[in-house]
Amino acid sequence: MPDAAAAGSAASFGTRLRSAMQKHGQLCVGIDPHPALLESWGLNDDADGLERFSLTVLEAVGEGVAALKPQVALFERHGSRGLAALEKLLAAAAAAEVLTIADAKRGDIGSTMAAYAHAWLADGSPLAADAVTLSPYLGYESLRPALDLAAGTGRGVFVLALTSNPEGASVQHAGGADSVARRIVEAASADNAAADRDGTLGSVGLVVGATVADAPAQLGLDLAALNGPVLAPGLGAQGATGADLRRTFGRAYGNVLATSSREILRAGPDPQGLRSAVESTLEMLAD
């Protein structure tokens, strides 16, 4: 049985993600064990509840979607036992060959950034996922330890670029035609262009909210030129539809990995309910 900490592969993350999207569609299911969801599932808000919740989602829908995205903060709130539950989820997903994206949003400088990179991207780490989300707001190049380690282990990263929270615009839109968001997109595009790719999707992705509407066009963001995956949270409970995604992402839509969490998770704990919610979401994305 494969070890989650040895998930690195000769095939790049972009290659593996493209294959999963072609097989299963453009859906990533978030594993977000909010207290209210745990309660609605009849589970306790503790580490045991987290573990049962997470493994139920994996077993019910993991092999029918392109990726799973555990929200790290909701495991961290339970301390070491919560992180142990996350480790078990990552190991089980790796054994089932289900791609995982650790939604950790890490970002720092120097040796601290290198330590974060090792935790989430290094072979041998019990927290290693197939990809991790990163925050670039200490400067895109501050992420270099993670970018380089991901490339070396066959993993990927998703860099926050354009989020849908109201406060995000005060930073991400700053600079007008030379906005912060545009610089992030261009830097990620350059990394994908420089990589020795095998003719498929790059492994440096971006996070762009599914509900940002026409902001990419207004800021002049060329997301198609990224040649990498775009993680788009906000499908379902936050209001975005498949038609919204097509309008927002245009030529880049084929590289979009749409994320839905609460809309699908509310259909649990019945495995068939979860699978039906996934099928309905995939149909919406295909329309």
> Rounded to whole angstroms, what are the CA distances from 86 to 70, 191, 257?
8, 30, 22
DSSP label at residue 253: G
177 or 14, greater pLDDT: 14
pLDDT at 3 over 50: no
The three-state (H, E, C) secondary structure of 43-91, written as one string: CCCCHHHHHHHHHHHHHHHHHHCCEEEEECHHHHCCHHHHHHHHHHHHH
- What domains appear along the chain, each with residue ranges and CATH number? 4-286 (3.20.20.70)
pLDDT at 1 over 70: no
pLDDT at 237 over 70: no
- Catalytic residue flag (residue 88): no
The confidence band for 226, taking pLDDT boundaries of 50, 70 and 90, is very high
pLDDT at 287: 74
Record the tokens describing residue 115, joined without a space: 């330590």
pLDDT at 9 over 90: no
pLDDT at 4 over 60: no
Residue with tokens 């000769």: 10
DSSP label at residue 166: G
Number of DSSP helices (H) and strands (E) in the chain, helices first: 13, 8
Per-residue buried b or exposed e for 21-56, using 16+ beta carbons within 10 Å of the residue's own CB? beebbbbbbbbbbeeebbeebebebebebbbbbbbb
Among 80-89, 180-189, 235-244, the minimum mean pLDDT is found in 235-244
7 or 214, greater pLDDT: 214
Record the tokens describing residue 86, joined without a space: 């996350």
23, 69, 88, 105: the catalytic one is 105
**Side-chain-facing half-sphere of 13: CA atoms under 13 Å:** 30
Average pLDDT score over the chain? 94
pLDDT at 20 over 90: yes
pLDDT at 7: 47
CA atoms of 47 and 64, how far apart (whole Å): 26
pLDDT digits (tens, 9 = 90+) for 179-195: 999 999 999 999 999 98
Q: Which amino acid is at 101?
A: I
pLDDT at 286: 86
Nearest Cα to 83, choosing from 42, 11, 33?
33
State which of 7-21, 207-221, 233-247 shows the largest mean pLDDT: 207-221
